[in-house]
Chains A and B, each alone.
Chain A
Amino acid sequence: VPDGPASAFPNLRPARQDGGVKVHLRNPSRTLEVAGPISIVALLGRLQLNRESVLVIRGGTLVPGDAMLDDADEVEIRPVISGGAR
C-alpha cells in the first residue's frame, strides 16, 4: 500500500519499518503508523474519523470500539459511506 499524504494527521507519521500500529486507510489508499497501545475509539479520534462512517478490520474480522491495539497490530479502517445513483 503506497504511503499517502499524512499532513491531515499531524500527530501521525507515514508507515516505516520500525514498529507501531500499522493503519491502512482508503480513498486515497495510504498507511500510517500510530504508537500503541491505543484503543480503537482513541485511534479514530486522533484520525478525526466519525465512528458512524467507518469499520475497523483486523485479520478479516471486525474490531470493537473498546479493543486495544499494540505495536504489532495491523488494521484497516474502511469507509462505509457510498452513494451514487441507485
Chain B
Amino acid sequence: MKCRVCREAAVIDIRRHNANFCVEHFVRLCRDQVAKAIDEFEMATPGDRLLVAVSGGKDSLAVWDILRELGYEADGLYIGLGIGEYSDRSGAMTRAFAEARGWPLQEIDLREVHGYDVPTAAKVTRRVPCSACGLSKRHLFDQAAIDGGYDAVVTGHNLDDEAAVLFGNTLRWQEEYLARQLPVLPARHGFPRKIKPLVRLGERETAAYCVLRGIDYVVEECPMAAGNKHLGYKEALNEIEARSPGSKHAFYFGFLERAAPRFADAAPAAPEAPGLGLCATCGAPTTGEVCAFCRLVERTAGAQPVTLTVKERL
C-alpha cells in the first residue's frame, strides 16, 4: 500500500477517499479537513478565542491538537462527571495532555461545585445517564464560554456522530432536532457560538490521528453509555459504509446541502421571541422560570450518591 501523495509506504487506507496515506500526509489530511470545515461553514476566524470541551477521549483531544496546530487560541475545559474510575482516568489523561503541552485547562467537578454526579442525577431523574450528562455539559460549557469571553465553544463531534444523530432524528422525523443539526450554531443572546470542526473526519480517522500523533486517550467506552441507541445507529451505519464507502459522508453532507434548509422553520424560538426569558437562579436563557440545569441541581440536592457497580466504575 502506497501513500497517494508521496508513494512511500502507507499506514492507513481511507476507503471513502479511495486512497492510502503515510503518517505525514495523513496528519496533513486531517488538518486540511478541519481547516476546510472551519472555512466552509464560517466556524471561526483567526484571532478567535475558542473553548474546547475536552473529555480525555480521542475526538476532543484531536480537535484541540489540530486547532492549536492551525494557529487558533484554543483553551480546554474538562468537566468531572463522577463516573467512577472512568472519570478518574479521563481527568488524568486530559490533565497530562494539557500539561505536556502547556495549554490552559479549566476544570469543573460536578459533585464539588454543584453537589451531584451523573449516576446520581440519572437515578433521581429516572432517565438515561446520557440525558443528565448532556444537559450538564451543555450548560456548563455555555456558561464558561460566556463568562470567559470566548468566541465559541468547540466540541469533538465527528462525521460518525453527526451521521448517527441524523439517522436517529430521521427515523422519527424529529423536525426540531433536524433544524438544529448544523456544524455551527450561531451565538444567540445568552448562548455562545458552537462549532464542530471535525465534521469532515470519521472517528476511525480521529482515532488514527491520535495514535500517529502519540496522543494517549481514553479508549474505553463510557460505562454509562454502553448499549445506548446512538451506538446502535453507528454500528448500523458502519455496516452500510463497509458495503458502500462514502455513505456516511453522502448522508450527512447531502442533508446539509439539500434537506436542512427545509427544516429551518422548525428551529427553536429566537431569543427575541415571546416566552424566552432568563433563569431566576443562574440567569441563563430559558423558556421557564428556572432553567433545566438549575432544576436538576435542585432535584439532586441531598440525594444519596449512587454507588456504581464494578462494571460501571471501569
User: Which residue of chain A has its CB nearest to the CB of B223?
Assistant: A84
Q: Which residues of A, 43-86, contact B by the 8 Å Cβ criterion? A: 50-55, 57, 60-67, 78-86
Interface bracket on A: 20 to 34
Q: Using Cβ atoms and an 8 Å threshold, which residues of chain A touch B134?
A: 85-86
Residue contact B224 to A84, C-beta cutoff 8 Å:
yes
Q: Is the CB of B13 within 8 A of A83?
A: no
Q: A64-B10, A80-B58, A86-B134 are in contact. Are A51 and B242 (CB under 8 A)?
A: yes
Q: Which of chain B's residues have a CB closer than 8 A to the CB of A16?
A: none
- Residues of B in contact (CB 8 Å), total 48
Decide yes or no whether A17 CB sits under 8 A from chain B. no
The answer to whether B211 and A57 have CB atoms under 8 Å apart is yes
B146 within 8 A of A: no
User: In the assembly, what is the distance between CA of A21 and CA of B221, in Å?
Assistant: 26
Q: Known contacts being A65-B1, A65-B13, A86-B137, is A78 close to B207, with CB within 8 Å?
A: yes
**CA distance in complex: A65, B238 (Å):** 17
Tell me the number of A-to-B contacts counted with CB atoms below 8 Å: 102
- Which residues from B are CB-within-8-Å of A60? 211, 214
Which A residues lie within 8 Å of B65 (CB)?
none
Out of B20, B59, B211, name the residue touching A55 (CB < 8 Å).
B211
Contact (Cβ within 8 A) B225 A83: yes
Q: For B219, give its contact among A79, A84, A86 (CB under 8 Å).
A: A79
Cβ-defined contact, A55 with B13, below 8 A: no
By secondary structure, the A interface counts as: loop
User: Per a CB cutoff under 8 Å, which of A55, A84, A85 touches B208?
Assistant: A55
Whether A26 touches B219, Cβ cut-off 8 Å, given contacts A62-B211, A83-B230, is yes
Partner of A52, one of B10, B137, B157, B238: B238
Alpha-carbon gap, A57 to B211, bound state (A): 8
B242 engages A52 (CB within 8 Å):
yes
Most A CB contacts (10 A, CB to CB) among B164, B238, B239, B242 go to: B238
Cβ-based interface call for B35 (8 A): no
- A81-B235 contact given A55-B211, A66-B1, CB 8 Å threshold: yes
Q: Is A27 an interface residue (CB 8 A)?
A: yes
In the bound complex, residues from chain A placing their C-beta under 8 Å from that of B58 are 80, 82
**Do A52 and B241 contact each other (CB < 8 Å), given the known contacts A80-B204, A83-B231?**
yes
> Which A-chain residue is minimally distant from B13 (CB atoms)?
A65
Residues of B within 8 A of A85 (CB): 129-131, 133-134, 137, 225
Contact of A61 among B23, B160, B203, B241 (CB under 8 A): B23
Q: Tell me, in angstroms, the Cα distance from A64 to B224 when the chains sit together.
A: 32
Of all chain A residues, the one with the shortest Cβ separation from B1 is A64
CB atoms of B239 and A81 under 8 A apart? no
B12 touches A26 (CB 8 A): no
Task: Using known A-B contacts A62-B208, A64-B11, A65-B13, determine if residue A81 contacts B160 with beta carbons closer than 8 Å.
Answer: yes
Enumerate B118-177 residues with CB–CB distance to A below 8 Å. 129-131, 133-134, 137, 155-157, 160-161, 164
* Residue in B137, B203, B211 whose beta carbon sits within 8 Å of that of A81 in the complex: B203
What are 12 A-to-B residue pairs whose CB atoms are below 8 Å?
Answer: A26-B219, A51-B15, A52-B204, A55-B204, A60-B211, A67-B1, A81-B203, A83-B161, A84-B222, A85-B129, A86-B53, A86-B156
Known contacts A53-B238, A55-B208, A83-B164; can you find 4 more A-B pairs with CB under 8 A? A61-B212, A64-B12, A82-B222, A86-B137
- Mark A residues whose CB is within 8 Å of B: 26-27, 50-55, 57, 60-67, 78-86
